[in-house]
Amino acid sequence: MSERKSDGPTPMERFIGGLLPENPVYRQILGICPTLAVTNTMEGALTMGLAAAFVLLCSNVLISLIRPLLKPHLRILIFTLTIATFVTIADRVLAAYLYDMSKQLGPYIPLIIVNCIIIARCEICASKQSVGTAAADALGQSLGFTLGLMSIATVREILGFGTWFGRWLGWRVIPEMAPAHWSNWVVMILPPGAFLTLGLLLGVFNALTAKKEKAA
Amino acid sequence: MKGSYIGQAWLAIVLASAFGAALAGVHAGLGPRIAANRLNDTLSQIPALVPGAARGEAVEVAGRLVYRAVDAAGAPVGWVVPANGQGFADRIELLIGLDRDAARITGLYVLQQNETPGLGNRVTEEAFRNRFRDQAAGAPLRVVKGRAGGAGEIEAVTGATVSSDSVTAIVNGAVDRFRREKPGMP
């Protein structure tokens, strides 16, 4: 069996692809549930990004290793089984070592099981390409996902709480004195703020890409 | 073999067994730590909930787990009663601090909640929780909007009437039940 099909993207192409050209949040519009739900603080966004990265990397590598054994009509079952296992491990580890964060994220860590980014990468890349390519793909996609979450969380946390990494590092962006002249935008903390921010950032992203394509 | 069910599904069966075993291993390894985190979260609140308390001892009262707060010398100074009930979004779990005779509320802590961020979850803030401190436990507390004046009145969190009502109702229910069931202090 040939290790890499001549038409498959190389590991480097896969990695770069996940960062921008095929960014899960801004280009594929996948994983929108966590994107909207946990991006009101940087800590939540980063923890979610890292948990999803762990699950994606482990699932991609394992699926790639067993890909000669996959039966076409049972592959989705195997993907789901694999993903659910790694999500459960991530959830338990968080509850054991980052108890406060696990309390804050509540059901959203277990919900990584139904995050379509992961099953999409298993289907598109890991079940067809070698372990190295699958690992590079997982790293690129999860880095792209984490950056997507953090960009939205940056806007929401600064406008909503006046802080950036406020819970872990205590950084204030808007000075403590400000409330006389500035009141936190509660809407940014609430779900509508997630939709507003995602929509505006998507618009910015699309405008930049369109400009680039025109110039090329 | 090729057409049989086992021939088709052996990979799923093998993986399910292996994953099951792996998860059992993870649970065996981390389970005690997770349980300890929950217990620590509870126990670490006890000194803040009951004045003079240094630590808590778990005791069972009428089939329910409560904590007897004791001072550094081991003498009982009050009680911490876990309670839970439905909030606006999800169940709210509380710890209620009471004095020796369960006559007065000495503190309140929110152990677990999923209320609306920025509005309902402000019931976890000290400003709201302190409104319960030093209230008499004999009569049910009432939630009022605007400034609370009299005894037994709890000022609601602005924009979070349901969450404020829920917390107060959970406290009222649990305090009333505990007062009826509590054993005499040694």
pTM of the predicted structure, to 2 decimals = 0.77
Q: Which residue of chain A is at minimal alpha-carbon distance from B9?
A: A74
Q: Which two tokens stand for residue A195?
A: 């939709």
For testing the chain B interface, which of A75, A99, A127 should be mutated: the one with the most B CBs within 10 Å?
A99
**Domain-embedded: residue B22:** no
> In which domain, by residue range, is A30 found?
11-215
| Closest alpha carbon to A188 in B161, B118, B115 | B118
**Domain-embedded: residue A85:** yes
**How many Å separate Cα A43 from the centre of its chain?**
14
Model pLDDT for residues B27-40, shown as the tens digit of each residue: 999 999 988 888 88
> Per the structure, how many domains does chain A have?
1
Model pLDDT for residues B140-150, shown as the tens digit of each residue: 999 988 777 77
- What's the confidence (pLDDT) of residue A4? 46
**Domain-embedded: residue A1:** no
**Domain-embedded: residue A59:** yes
Phi-psi category of A29—alpha, beta or left, where left has phi over 0 and alpha has psi -120 to 50? left
- What's the confidence (pLDDT) of residue A3? 47
**Domain-embedded: residue B89:** yes
Phi-psi category of A165—alpha, beta or left, where left has phi over 0 and alpha has psi -120 to 50? left
Q: Using CB atoms, pick whichever of A74, A85, A189 lies closest to residue B12.
A: A74
Q: Cβ separation of B22 and A95 shorter than 8 Å?
A: no
pLDDT above 60 (res A6): no
Contact status of B26 with chain A (Cβ, < 8 Å) = yes
- What's the confidence (pLDDT) of residue B108? 93
> Per the structure, how many domains does chain B have?
1
Mean of all residue pLDDT scores within chain B: 87
Q: Cβ separation of B116 and A190 shorter than 8 Å?
A: yes
- What's the confidence (pLDDT) of residue A136? 93
Model pLDDT for residues B44-57, shown as the tens digit of each residue: 888 888 888 888 88
Model pLDDT for residues A100-110, shown as the tens digit of each residue: 888 888 778 88
Whole-angstrom CA distances from B133 to B86, B89, B141, B171 are 22, 25, 12, 12
**Domain-embedded: residue A94:** yes
**Domain-embedded: residue A5:** no
> In which domain, by residue range, is B153 found?
46-181
The ipTM of this complex is: 0.77
**Domain-embedded: residue B140:** yes
Q: Are A162 and A152 in contact (CB under 8 A)?
A: no
